[in-house]
Amino acid sequence: MASEKRKKSNVRLFLLLALLAAALLFFVLQWMNRDGAVVTEIIKTPAISDETVVPIQQPEEVIDFQKLGSDSKANTTNEERKAELGVGKGIDIIAKPEESIKIGDTTVPMQDIIDKIRIKQGDIIVKSVDATNTEKDEDSSLRARAYGIYVVQPSDNIWNIHFRFLQDYFKLKGVALSPSADEPDEKGKSSGVGKVLKFSENMVHIYNIKEKKLDVNIHLILPLSKIVVYNMDQVFSLLDEIDTTKVDRIQFDGEALWIQAD
Q: At 193, is the pLDDT very low, low, confident or very high (cuts 50, 70, 90)?
A: confident
Q: What is the pLDDT of residue 170?
A: 82
Using alpha carbons, select from 219, 205, 212, 233 the residue that is nearest to residue 103.
212
What SS3 state is found at 40? helix
**Nearest 10 degrees: Cα torsion 139, 208, 206, 214:** 80
pTM summary value: 0.67
**Cα gap 98→103, rounded to integer Å:** 17
> What single DSSP character describes residue 156?
-
Q: What is the pLDDT of residue 126?
A: 55
pLDDT in tens, 28-84: 666 666 554 444 444 444 444 455 554 444 456 899 998 898 878 889 999 999 999
**Cα gap 175→143, rounded to integer Å:** 21
Mean pLDDT across 248-256: 57
